[in-house]
Amino acid sequence: MTTLSAALRTAIDGRWAHVRDEARAELDPGRFGPPSGELTLEEYRARVAGQLQELARTGHPTRGLSKELGGQGDFGASVTAFEMLGHADLSLLVKAGVHWGLFGGAVANLGTARHHAAYLPGILSAELPGCFAMTETGHGSDVQALGTTATYDPATDELVVHTPDLAARKDYIGGAARDGRLAAVFAQLVTDGTSHGVHCVLVPIRDDSAEPMPGVTVGDCGPKAGLGGVDNGRLSFDHVRVPRENLLNRYGDIDENGVYTSPIDNPTRRFFTMLGTLVRGRISVAGGAGAATRSALTLAITYAAHRRQFAPPGGDEEVLLLDYRAHQRRLLPALATSYALLFAQNELVSQMHDVQAAGDAAGPLAQRELEARAAGIKALATAHATATIQACREACGGAGYLAVNRLPALRADTDVFTTFEGDNTVLLQLVAKGLLTEYRDTFGNLDTLGMVRFGARRVAGTVIERTAARGLIERLVAAAPGRDAEGVVMHRGWQCAMFEERERHVLDTLALRLRRAGEPDADAFAVFNDAQDHVLAAARAHVDRVVLEAFVAGVASCQDAAARAMLDRLCSLQALSVIEAEKGWFLEHSRITPARSKQVTAAVNALCAQLRPHAQDLVDAFGIPAEWLGTELLDQPAPGTSGPVSS
Ligand SMILES: Cc1cc2nc3c(=O)[nH]c(=O)nc-3n(C[C@H](O)[C@H](O)[C@H](O)COP(=O)(O)OP(=O)(O)OC[C@H]3O[C@@H](n4cnc5c(N)ncnc54)[C@H](O)[C@@H]3O)c2cc1C
């Protein structure tokens, strides 16, 4: 590792750098890495189930639990350690995320003392493997409309959990097909003929000999596009009875007289408050996607720095792939985005740690900001993973397609990250809704239509939400040279101003457009539906700015001059690549002239050329131990090398 890559690593490792270092030392690929050969589905699942037990023995999962519940209360460390697992086997990452993050998270956050005492020790040690059973065949994104019911029976003081039809069957559930013993089942809670909305109930699904419990039908989703080591399955319940105490009752309870009470009166607000406590899952998926993307970029850039194709006319040495501008264009802007997202993820994890460590004292506004930020970063990071890993696969040619070189598995395993823990399109809509001023302050009193009508009344009220780097950005924007100044595209203030203007304009015009929903007899749903492309554009513009500002703040806080200069260029590449990709919008809205647009493209090319000699340092800074990547790809024979030709 060079001095430069070491300094860069210090800048990007963030607040939990020690956790990253610990993972680098401890995550032995033989124990936690992907399988080296082909395994049957059952063999792969058994392997990952065993790895989960081994992870439990490290004691690290206790970090994610608060001190009051017997854990270490180091939430940021927990999410960072999870992110590092993204360099190992992604099946293990998802298996661990489902068991400790989702299932354990539901028990810890939605349950109360009786559940904590009874279940958390078994969850931490992984002796009680669990499932998080929310999605149904009929509903995945719209989980308020779930069909499973949990009906209180006063005669026996029990809850009767039932699947009324095929659409209400729990589907895709991690752990359901093979290992899960206890499921956190999301169902409509009914007492005395009244539904109180979706709540979570613990339902044993297998007995000690792994047979399904009476009334529980388990199914297997079978082979998937990736994540072969995760046993996704289906669950149906035929009037399955569990004690009333199995209701996770932090936000809604039934007393011994069968009376339902909740500290939150509004059912929509109650439901979103419950979901909000599970925000860590979404942040973890963004982190895992980032790690997998960095593995792919390290492979593709290292390969391109050694692989040669075509000699220039008259030359005897062939050209390195990374010296081709087309190749730089495929990989270096993606590398810049990965850096940007890593800074944004570090900020998000830190924000999450502080909010969760503060508990109720953090207040609802901080919690809502965290949820919106998590939704936006998750959507961007996972979409970036899918696009970049595919680009890396192609950039390695045929070698990129061989399983031994990891890229096919990285691509297949991360593909679904855009869908689970909230589908990206649905998440971006959440981000946009949160941006309409004051809607946030009345959150919970409004359904989608109410939100549209409300948002429509606040036409001129859109604001640029503050980020940690706000003061710095304002100073940079104020110091930007005039729009027509020479070389303005390389000025950080100009770049930031472009991102702000795009966000503000898209948001303002969205609010104007939605105003029609408030007119008498307007079909508010249709108005919102008509504007959905605009809604998504507003969310993307917002998240793009948040991510850029995290990068700008990361550059500013870098202590090493050489590393800071390198990050500065990379940050410009990130900013200008986004402006270039969105140049249609900037030109249509006269934010840039055609001449300025061409300067942006020229600047992206120039930055690629300037960063090319440092590309290896930039990926080495990710600090991914060579043995985790250990593929043939990084060991290409030079022409003239002798050896067995058949292997
Ligand atoms: C491998 C895997 C593991 C999983 N593990 C679990 C688990 O352990 N527990 C669990 O509970 N769930 C799990 N899931 C389920 C996952 O969370 C859902 O698949 C996800 O929430 C999407 O739901 P859906 O599949 O019903 O898609 P849908 O909600 O039907 O969405 C389909 C498409 O429609 C679009 N769409 C939906 N609504 C709108 C709208 N309003 N506007 C515009 N477009 C829209 C979406 O963008 C998407 O492209 C898993 C899924 C997979 C594939």
Using the atom order of ligand 1, give the atom closest to the CA of residue 232. 3
d(C-alpha 298, C-alpha 388), whole Å: 12
pLDDT tens for 510-528 read 988 887 877 888 888 898 8
pLDDT at position 512 is 84
Helices (H), 223-324: 267-276, 279-304
- The answer, yes or no, to whether any atom of ligand 1 lies below 6 A from the CB of 123, is no
Tell me the chain's radius of gyration from C-alpha atoms: 26
pLDDT tens for 571-607 read 999 999 999 999 999 999 999 999 999 999 999 999 9
Q: Give φ, ψ of 604 to 5 degrees.
A: -60, -45
d(C-alpha 149, C-alpha 270), whole Å: 17
- The answer, yes or no, to whether any atom of ligand 1 lies below 6 A from the CB of 278, is no
Beta strands (DSSP E) in 23-157 are: 130-133, 149-153
pLDDT at position 465 is 60
What does each C-alpha distance from 275 to 74, 144, 174, 198, 364 come to in angstroms? 21, 11, 18, 10, 13
> Do the Cβ atoms of 481 and 595 come closer than 8 Å?
no
> Do the Cβ atoms of 448 and 401 come closer than 8 Å?
no
pTM here is 0.95
CA-CA-CA-CA dihedral for 624, 628, 631, 634, to nearest 10: 20
d(C-alpha 533, C-alpha 528), whole Å: 10
d(C-alpha 358, C-alpha 426), whole Å: 29
Q: Count CA atoms closer than 13 A to 151's CA, side-chain side.
A: 16
CB atoms within 10 A of CB 141: 13
Cα-to-centroid distance, 140 and ligand 1 (Å): 4
pLDDT tens for 360-417 read 899 888 998 999 999 999 999 999 999 999 999 999 999 999 999 999 999 999 999 9
Asked if residue 187 has pLDDT above 50, the reply is: yes
The 8-class DSSP code of residue 443 comes to T
Please choose from 103, 227, 285, 420 the residue to mutate so as to test ligand 1's pocket, defined by most ligand atoms within 8 A of CB: 420
d(C-alpha 182, C-alpha 235), whole Å: 12
Using the atom order of ligand 1, give the atom closest to the CA of residue 170. 11
β-pairing, 232-237 vs 240-243, is unpaired
Closest-CA residue to 383 (of 349, 346, 352, 338): 338
Reported as a pLDDT band with limits 50, 70 and 90, residue 421 is: very high
- The answer, yes or no, to whether any atom of ligand 1 lies below 6 A from the CB of 416, is yes
pLDDT tens for 537-577 read 999 999 999 999 999 999 999 999 999 999 999 999 999 99
What does each C-alpha distance from 570 to 487, 511, 564 come to in angstroms? 17, 34, 10
Average pLDDT, the chain: 92
- With a CB cutoff of 8 Å and minimum separation 6, the contacts of 509 are 534
Residue nearest atom 40 of ligand 1, based on CA coordinates: 426
pLDDT tens for 101-159 read 999 999 999 999 999 999 999 999 999 999 999 999 999 999 999 999 999 999 999 99
- The answer, yes or no, to whether any atom of ligand 1 lies below 6 A from the CB of 132, is yes
pLDDT at position 440 is 40
Strand partners for 153: 158
Cα-to-centroid distance, 232 and ligand 1 (Å): 14
